[in-house]
Amino acid sequence: MTLRTLDSLGPLEGKRVIVRCDLNVPLRDGVITDDGRVRASLPTLNALLNAGARVVVTSHLGRPDGAPDPQYSLAPVAQRLSELLGKPVAFARDTVGESAHDAVDSLEDGGIVVLENLRFNAGETAKDDAVRGAFAAQLAELGDVLVSDGFGVVHRKQASVYDLAQLLPSAAGLLIATELDVLDKLTENPERPYAVVLGGSKVSDKLGVISHLLPRVDRILVGGGMLFTFLKAQGYEVASSLLEEDQLETVRGYIAEAAERGVELVLPTDVVVAEKFAADAAHEVVAADAIESTSFGASGIGLDIGPETAARFADVVRSSKTVFWNGPMGVFEFAAFAGGTKAVAQALTEVDGLSVVGGGDSAAAVRQLGFADDRFGHISTGGGASLEFLEGKRLPGLEVLGWA
């Protein structure tokens, strides 16, 4: 079965349409530092508003503990959404309480309200089906139909994503459709050579994707925190860098399998090692097989790929026809360790084919480093969701929309 789309919901004029968005943007002191996810929600919201629907936007933000926590309020997001839509956006101070009901009842056709953070309610992420179901039932009172458009959360079995979709007529929004189109291109007959670049810090999460990708891709480039587990697996010392000791055997298996399959596994040949984890830390470039030979000895921490590696990664990326990138090459938040990420981002903009950036931090990195969105084939709003899709996992938030 294929995903139910917006037209399956029939005419929406005058209907209360709950839209589950992923407006989980990075905030610093109440100010949005990257509004990419708000922008990504606009096509669906505009389509519904133009159709005369009464739009009820829901989202989570950050990880509050199932109770209201002002630092995670969606109020600044509602404000930004209003600026981007060029029209007033109402804001409810709760998710399913009096304020939400009042705001929804006051909506006119073509009007829009943002409800407060879903995760201010323990039911949203509860493991207990009954608790989650009860919260979903409260949400269901606020709408006639559900449009699920939060791609970043479709791998989660949560009340607003999974349970609610079974209580109301539901369909996927345009963002989910776009994201899946791109992911389909990455999994079905990608133009070759096909390269995947992996980095970031969620090492054990991301190592799993490699076993699924090996049969499908031509090149895998390994940077970020996980590179040290690869170097160690080859017998090199990595000083105090990020290391997953219990993954060494698995990684040796990947190295062997890549060789057997003829997949080019591109590993760093040099690394930037810092004295400590800090923006102003002293640092040295060193060969990948001599990480402990810096003046910091065994206490050095690898925080970026080195310039030789960055140049080689850029060549491999540029000469590929399909590239998926998840995870920064280094600690890009510190200018001294952003070189590898910048070089790879630049190369991605020069790909003659399809280039996709996935992941919250990766997307924020390319924007922060000054690259415009339209220089990439696609910037995915979902990191975990994209990876789980590429791994071939079943995604509960899509299955409830008819996807199989």
327 binds, among Mg ion, ligand ADP, none (CB under 5 to 8 A by kind): ligand ADP
Among 360, 377, 383, 397, the one annotated catalytic: 360
121 binds, among ligand ADP, Mg ion, none (CB under 5 to 8 A by kind): none
Phi and psi at residue 144, to the nearest 5°:
-100, -30
In the bound state with ligand ADP, the residue whose beta carbon lies nearer, of 116 and 388, is 388
Among 202, 252, 318, 321, the one annotated catalytic: 202
Cα(48)–Cα(42) distance, rounded to whole angstroms? 10
Beta strands in 228-312 (DSSP E): 264-266, 270-274, 283-287, 301-305
Q: How far is the CB of 359 from Mg ion (least distance, A)?
A: 6
CA distances 207 to 223, 227, 280, Å, are 12, 10, 30
Closest by Cα among 111, 43, 42, 99 to 73? 99
Largest Cα–Cα distance in the chain?
69
Q: How far is the CB of 328 from Mg ion (least distance, A)?
A: 9
Among 200, 302, 327, 384, the one annotated catalytic: 384
In the bound state with Mg ion, the residue whose beta carbon lies nearer, of 143 and 360, is 360
Among 4, 15, 37, 156, the one annotated catalytic: 37
In the bound state with Mg ion, the residue whose beta carbon lies nearer, of 190 and 223, is 223
Cα(145)–Cα(346) distance, rounded to whole angstroms? 42
225 binds, among ligand ADP, Mg ion, none (CB under 5 to 8 A by kind): ligand ADP
Q: How far is the CB of 179 from Mg ion (least distance, A)?
A: 17
Task: Give the helix ranges, DSSP H, for 214-276.
Answer: 227-233, 248-261
Please name the helix (run of DSSP H) or strand (run of DSSP E) that holds residue 57, with its range, or none: strand 54-58
Q: How far is the CB of 331 from ligand ADP (least distance, A)?
A: 4
Q: How far is the CB of 61 from ligand ADP (least distance, A)?
A: 16
Under the rule (CB under 5 A), what is the footprint of Mg ion? 360-361
In the bound state with Mg ion, the residue whose beta carbon lies nearer, of 40 and 103, is 40
In the bound state with ligand ADP, the residue whose beta carbon lies nearer, of 219 and 283, is 283
Instruction: Give the burial class of 276: count Cβ atoms within 10 A of its Cβ; 0-12 exposed, 13-18 middle, 19 or more buried.
Output: middle
Cα(15)–Cα(373) distance, rounded to whole angstroms? 34
331 binds, among Mg ion, ligand ADP, none (CB under 5 to 8 A by kind): ligand ADP
Judge whether 384 counts as a catalytic residue.
yes
User: What letter does residue 192 receive in the DSSP assignment?
Assistant: S
Judge whether 93 counts as a catalytic residue.
no
Residue 122, amino acid: A
Q: How far is the CB of 377 from ligand ADP (least distance, A)?
A: 17
In the bound state with Mg ion, the residue whose beta carbon lies nearer, of 173 and 328, is 328
Alpha-carbon dihedral angle through residues 239, 243, 247, 252, given to the nearest 10 degrees = -50
Query: Could you tell me the strand order of the sheet in which 301-305 lies?
Result: 283-287, 270-274, 301-305
Cα(150)–Cα(153) distance, rounded to whole angstroms? 6
Closest residue to ligand ADP in the complex (CB): 359
Closest residue to Mg ion in the complex (CB): 361
Under the rule (CB under 6 A), what is the footprint of ligand ADP? 199-202, 224-225, 242, 302-303, 326-328, 330-331, 333, 359-362, 383
Positions marked active-site: 37, 202, 360, 384
